[in-house]
Amino acid sequence: MSTVELTTENFDDVVAVNEFVLIDFWASWCGPCRQFAPVYEKASEKHEDLVFASVDTESQQQLAAAFEVRSIPTLAIIRDKVLVYSNPGALSEVALEDLIEQARGLDMTEVKAKAAAAEAE
């Protein structure tokens, strides 16, 4: 599956209709971003059931700010409309695969309950 370009205009639609979205925040001038890009693309081809999206932090500054991106590349994972992971740094192929499997294994009922409890406090 090809990577979807996320913008402030299509973000809500993409997240609303897909239960598992990985987001790569990047910029064209960023060396580590360019190194991570082929790893991310290869994973997108392997995991065709997931949505792999990218955000150009230069043209989508508002979206990057909403995710509090301070360093790039930053990878975020949204499952069932809940942000379950967000961390800066380029990942190796093995590390990305491990992260995807961990995110797949999350009990989203438990995650949502914990998020609701934290929000109530």
From the candidates 15, 33, 53, 90, give the one annotated as an active-site residue: 33
Q: Which of 6, 15, 21, 30 is catalytic?
A: 30
- Show the beta-strand stretches assigned E in the chain: 4-5, 20-26, 51-56, 74-79, 82-88
User: Is 32 a residue of the active site?
Assistant: no
Residue 83: closest CA among 108, 65, 58, 105: 108
| Residue 106 a catalytic site member | no
Q: Say how far apart CA 45 and CA 30 lie, in whole Å.
A: 23
Residues 18, 30 contacting (CB under 8 angstroms): no
Among left, alpha and beta (phi > 0; psi -120 to 50; other), residue 85 is beta
Residues that are catalytic? 30, 33
